[in-house]
A and B are shown apart, each in its own frame.
Chain A
Amino acid sequence: MPLTTILGLLGCGLLCLALAVAVLRLRRRPVRVRYAVTLSAAVLVFAPLGDLSTAGYVRGLTGDLSVATLALAADACFGAFLGKPLFERRDVDALLGAAAAAGLFLYPFALGWTPFDPYALGYNSIVFITVLLLLSVTAWRARWTLVVLVVLLGALAFLGGVYESRNLWDYLIDPLVVLYALFALPARLVRRYFSRDASARA
Chain B
Amino acid sequence: MKAPASLIAIALVFAALYARALEGPQPARFAPPRGPLHAAAPPRFESQLLPNSSAPSVHSATAVEAAGGLRAFWYGGSREGAADVAVYTSVYSHRERTWEPERALVRRESVQRALQRHVRKLGNPVAGRDAAGRVWLFFVSVSVGGWAGSAINAMVSSDEGATWSPPRRLIASPFLNISTLVKGPPVQLADGTLALPVYHEMLGKFGELLRLDAEGRVIGKVRLSWGRSSLQPVIVPRSETEAVAFMRYAGEPPARILMTRTDDAGAHWSEPVKTTLPNPNAAVGSVLLAGGPLVLVFNNAEENRETLSLALSKDFGKSWRVARVLESETQLPRAPVPEYSYPWIMQDRAGNVHVLYTWGRSRIKHAVFDQAWLEGGG
Give A residues with C-beta under 8 Å from B.
1, 5, 8-9, 51-52, 56-57, 59-64, 106-107, 110-115, 117, 119-120, 123-126, 129, 132-133, 136-137, 140, 145, 148-149, 152, 155-156, 158-159, 163-170, 174-176
A155–B204 Cα gap in the complex (Å)? 30
Which chain A residues border B20 with CB–CB below 8 Å? 124, 159
Q: Report if A110-B173 is in contact (Cβ < 8 Å); known contacts: A60-B144, A123-B219.
A: yes
**Mind listing 9 A-B residue pairs with CB under 8 Å?**
A60-B117, A106-B174, A113-B226, A117-B221, A123-B24, A148-B10, A155-B16, A167-B171, A167-B218
Known contacts A51-B112, A152-B9, A175-B175: A120-B222 contact under CB 8 Å: yes
A129 and B112 in contact, given A112-B206, A113-B227, A170-B171 (Cβ under 8 angstroms): no
B18 within 8 A of A: yes
Residue of B202, B217, B219, B220 near A111 (CB, 8 A) is: B202
B361 on interface, CB distance cutoff 8 Å: no
In the complex, the answer to whether B9 meets A5 with C-beta atoms within 8 Å is no
Contacts of B1 in A (CB 8 A): 140, 145, 148-149
B162 at the interface (CB under 8 A from A): no
Q: Is the CB of B14 within 8 A of A155?
A: yes
CA gap between A167 and B118 in the complex, in Å: 23
A174 near B176 with CB under 8 A, answer yes
* One of A59, A61, A112 near B226 (C-beta < 8 A): A112
B118 lies within 8 A of A166 (CB):
no
A63 contact set on B, CB distance < 8 A:
171, 176-178
Is there an interface contact between A62 and B176, defined as CB atoms closer than 8 Å? yes
Question: Which residues of A lie under 8 Å from residue B143 when comparing CB positions?
Answer: 60-61
Q: Which residues of B contact A52 (CB under 8 A)?
A: 112-113, 116-118
Bound form: Cα–Cα A106–B175 in Å: 10
- Chain B residues 92 to 140 lying within 8 A of chain A, measured CB to CB, are 109, 112-113, 115-119
The CA of A156 and the CA of B16, in the complex, are separated in Å by 9
Q: How many residues of B are counted as interface, with CB atoms below 8 angstroms from the partner's CB atoms?
A: 54
Interface contact B173-A119, CB-CB below 8 Å: yes
B175 touches A107 (CB 8 A): yes
B-side interface residues toward A, CB under 8 Å?
1, 3, 6-7, 9-10, 13-14, 16-18, 20-22, 24, 109, 112-113, 115-119, 143-144, 168-171, 173-178, 200, 202-206, 208, 213, 217-223, 225-228
CA distance A12 to B227 in the complex (A): 33
Decide if A170 touches B204 in the complex (CB within 8 Å): no
CA–CA, A174 and B171, complex, Å? 13
- Cβ of A60 and Cβ of B204 under 8 Å apart? no
Residue of B nearest to A165 (CB): B171
Q: A111-B203, A119-B173, A170-B171 are in contact. Are A136 and B10 (CB under 8 A)?
A: yes
Separation of A74 and B206 alpha carbons in the complex (Å)? 37
| 16 other A-B residue contacts (CB within 8 Å) besides A110-B173, A112-B223, A155-B14 | A57-B118, A59-B117, A61-B143, A61-B176, A110-B175, A111-B200, A114-B226, A117-B208, A123-B219, A129-B21, A140-B7, A155-B13, A163-B171, A167-B218, A170-B174, A175-B174
A107-B118 in contact (CB<8A)? no
Nearest B residue to A133 via CB reads B14
Most buried by A among B16, B203, B219, B226: B226
Q: CB-CB < 8 A to A113: which residues of B?
A: 204, 226-227
Q: Which residues of B contact A140 (CB under 8 A)?
A: 1, 3, 6-7, 10
- Chain A residues in 8 Å Cβ range of B14: 129, 132-133, 136, 155
Known: A112-B226, A159-B20. A137 touches B10 (CB 8 A): yes
